[in-house]
Each structure stands twice: as structure tokens, then as C-alpha cells.
A = this chain, B = another copy of it.
């Protein structure tokens, strides 16, 4: 290798790297209706259905920490992460391929515990485990999952598709998974510092946020609600890297901008309490915190009332504008923030 061209990844960051890798496309195929750039690939079946597929990889030490993540919860979470992308296309998952690479010193029971969680999630999401790869790893546990889903071909929803004036809606609340992570890391540090084998972490008042971090669920219920009531949002994505990233993805995909009203973003009381304790800004948890696995979608204003009658776990947080590449955040106070997206 020519060292003069050596550029470490951290210099450009992963999002730049991902952009560069997008240049490698292989052979374009007519079966592919939507490839890289949305939450999942959409491919044609030549029937009334389209299929969706999404894959994720989880590395010990980066994406999970076995000192506080029970393996069954971890198994559940990796499935949630994969199917959330399938729901984000308004399709429903029906199968999961799982690959694990596991150090030899791990026990059979540990792997079974992980699979108990995967199995439980697959039962909840109504998907069959159809295959995978189980192999050795040198040091760390790695888990890769691919979820495949399907939907009526006329009802697939993309990140693109919204028009100016469409309202931006979100399910659930935000920043809770991030708050949970903060608490778990604090307790882990305390345990390390004390070096006390009998140390019991103080998690009693943080049940909600810890559950959101360790054992999150994807919004199958919302996709079913859309189907049963024939609601077809103009655009849809899942929120896995915070509200700002999701709004940006929807706005950019439709060459629009967005206005967000900050006080409208749902944040739970427990999440607020954690941010206070940590002396951190709770809005940052919601804006940039990952792994909420909620849905964000756009609808014309005229459709909102219809949805409100059916469903109360959603909030309107803003609207799409013609200010391309600009996210305007109204803080509810004197300040207005403009972010280039």
C-alpha cells in the first residue's frame, strides 16, 4: 500500500465513508425498485407484492456491552433494529437470517440465551428464522441480521414523496434510549471504580429508559394501523439516529426543507429527569440520541384529524417547507435555530 494515500477513517468519519462506498453498485438490475439510500431495499416480485430487505451488524464493544446487556434482551434488540427498517417502508417483515460469530470461550448457554431473545422477537413480529451462519470469532461477539419483508406494491412508502405543507408526525417519544444508555454507563463506571463484586446498580427509578435502551420494540402496531385504516403517509422513515437525522432524511429525499416546533417533540418525564441529573440538554437526547425505533411520517394537514380519531400515540412536530436543505427549529422561546441539512 502507498502510505502517502493513507487516510484514516476517523479523519473523514463514517458518513463520508458511506457516501464514498455508495459509488460501488455492481450490476444494475431491473428487479431493484429502490436500492441504497432508503431504510431498506425494495425489490419487485412480479406479483402484486414488493419485497423489502435490510441488514445490520452489531459488534461487541461498539454496539453493545455484555456487562449490562442481558443476552436475551440483546437478541430482541437486534431483531427490532432490523425489522424497524422494514416497517419504515410500510412493509411487514416475514423472515430473518441471523449470523453470529462467537468466541470459543463463550458458553452454549450464552448463545442460547441470545437466541431466546431473537426467537421471542420473531414471535412478536411474526417472522420465521430461516437461516444464517454460526461461526467462531477471535475475540468479540458479532451479530448480523437481515430482515426480509413484503407489502402490497402500491402501498410501499419511501423517504421521498412528501410535498410542501405536509405535516411531520412522529410516534412515541424520543431520547429515552439515550437516557437509558447514560444511566447504564454511569452505573458501570461506579461499579468499576468501587471494584465491589457485590455492587448492585441503582436502576430502580429508570425502568422506562433502560427498557428503551436494552429491550426496544419496533412499531409494528403503527404499520398495522395504517393498513387497517388505509392510511398512506406521503413519506416514512424510522428514527434510529435522532429526530434531526430523520427529518433531514425525509426533507432531503423530497428536495424540501422542514420547520420543527421544538416543544412539540414528545419526550418522557423520565428522560427529562435523567438529562437533569446528568446536567445535559434533553433536547440533544431527542435530536441526536439513537435507537428510539420510532416512526416519522408526513401527511397532508387534511388527513391528521382522521388519524387523531384512530390513534393517540403520535404528535405533529412540524411541517415540510420549500426551503430546500434548511431545517428551521422554533424553540418556542426567542431563539430560532437554522441547520443546514
A residues near B (Cβ < 8 Å) are: 1, 5-12, 14, 17-18, 20-21, 24-29, 31-32, 35-36, 40-41, 43, 45-49, 51, 53-57, 59-63, 94-102, 104-112, 115-116, 118-119, 121-123, 125-140, 142, 144, 146, 148, 150
Instruction: Collect the chain B residues with CB atoms within 8 Å of residue A111's CB.
Output: 9, 17, 21
Main DSSP-derived SS at the A contact region: mixed
**Complex Cα–Cα for A135 and B21 (A):** 12
A54–B107 Cα distance when bound, in Å, is 26
- Cross-chain contact of A24 among B1, B31, B118 (Cβ < 8 A): B118
The copy count of this chain in the complex is: 2
In the complex where A138-B62, A146-B55 touch, is A94 in contact with B127 (Cβ < 8 A)? no
* Chain B residues whose C-beta falls within 8 Å of the C-beta of A94 in the assembled complex: 29, 31-32, 43
Partner of A131, one of B54, B101, B115, B119: B54
Known contacts: A7-B108, A25-B128, A109-B5. The answer to whether A95 contacts B18 by CB under 8 A is no
Contacts beyond the supplied A24-B122, A27-B122, A139-B139: 15 A-B pairs with Cβ under 8 Å:
A1-B110, A17-B108, A17-B111, A21-B112, A24-B129, A26-B127, A28-B128, A29-B127, A46-B48, A46-B49, A53-B53, A55-B133, A57-B100, A97-B146, A148-B148
Which B residues lie within 8 Å of A144 (CB)? 55, 57, 99, 142, 144
Q: In whole Å, how far is A101's beta carbon from the nearest beta carbon of chain B?
A: 5
Q: A26-B129, A106-B9, A123-B26 in contact; A138/B61 too (CB < 8 A)?
A: yes
Q: Which 8 A-B pairs have the closest CB atoms?
A: A26-B122, A144-B144, A45-B45, A61-B138, A57-B99, A41-B130, A47-B47, A24-B119
- Chain B neighbourhood of A137, CB < 8 A: 59, 62
Write the nearest CB–CB distance from A80 to chain B, whole angstroms. Answer: 13
* Cβ B128 vs Cβ A27 within 8 A: yes
**Closest residue to A22 on the B side, CB-wise?**
B129
**For residue A63, which residues in chain B have a CB less than 8 angstroms away from its CB?**
135
